């Protein structure tokens, strides 16, 4: 509630996770997932693997880690800070649509910067991300 403003009333009558996850998994079936601080979100999905039988094994690119690749000397890699660095407007923060739009715009601004560093493929981006200090964070 403190972060997202989601109340118990808003959740009342909504479909359970076991019903939602298969639909979402089908939606992302053939794609690369792009998220900010993806390890945090992926941990929630991992916790639901056994009870739902749904596994998210798609490749993931994390704008948090990519920021650490592009801006290694920056103090913070919060989404707001990256957006400011890249000239991306932040609206609707901590809402599903708002965060998705900001993350997408940040990611698109990162692509040419990554290419300048010789990072042009999914494999190269994942490898560079995994080498950052922040890739060690677990939830």
Give 38-74 pLDDT, tens digit per residue: 999 999 999 999 999 999 999 999 999 999 999 999 9
Residue 1: inside a domain, yes or no?
Answer: no
User: Domain with 80 in it: what CATH number?
Assistant: 3.30.420.10
The partner residues of 62 in beta bridges, in order of sequence, read 35
Q: Which helix (H) or strand (E) holds 33?
A: strand 33-35
Q: pLDDT tens across 64-78, in order?
A: 999 999 999 999 999
The angle formed by the CA atoms of residues 114, 117 and 118, to the nearest 5 degrees, is 90
How many residues are present in the chain?
139
Q: pLDDT tens across 13-37, in order?
A: 999 999 999 999 999 999 999 999 9
Whole-model pTM: value is 0.89
Residue 3: inside a domain, yes or no?
Answer: no
> In total, how many domains does the chain have?
1
Domain that holds residue 30: 8-136
Residue 51: inside a domain, yes or no?
Answer: yes
Q: At 84, list the tokens.
A: 């400011």
- Residue 94 a catalytic site member: yes
Average pLDDT over residues 93-109: 92
Residue 2: inside a domain, yes or no?
Answer: no
In the set 4, 36, 77, 94, the catalytic residue is 94
pLDDT at position 34: 97
């Amino acid at each position: 509630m403190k972060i997202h403003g989601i109340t118990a009333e808003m959740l009342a009558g909504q479909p359970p996770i076991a019903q939602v996850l298969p639909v979402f998994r089908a939606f992302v079936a053939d794609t690369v997932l792009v998220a900010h601080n993806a390890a945090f979100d992926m941990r929630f999905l991992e916790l639901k693997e056994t009870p739902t039988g749904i596994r998210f094994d798609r490749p993931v690119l994390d704008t948090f880690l990519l920021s650490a690749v592009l801006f290694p000397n920056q103090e913070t890699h919060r989404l707001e800070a990256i957006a400011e660095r890249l000239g991306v407007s932040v609206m609707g923060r901590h809402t599903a649509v708002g965060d998705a739009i900001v993350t997408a715009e940040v990611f698109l601004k990162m692509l040419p910067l990554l290419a300048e560093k010789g990072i042009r493929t999914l494999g190269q981006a994942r490898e560079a991300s995994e080498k950052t200090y922040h890739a060690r964070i677990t939830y």
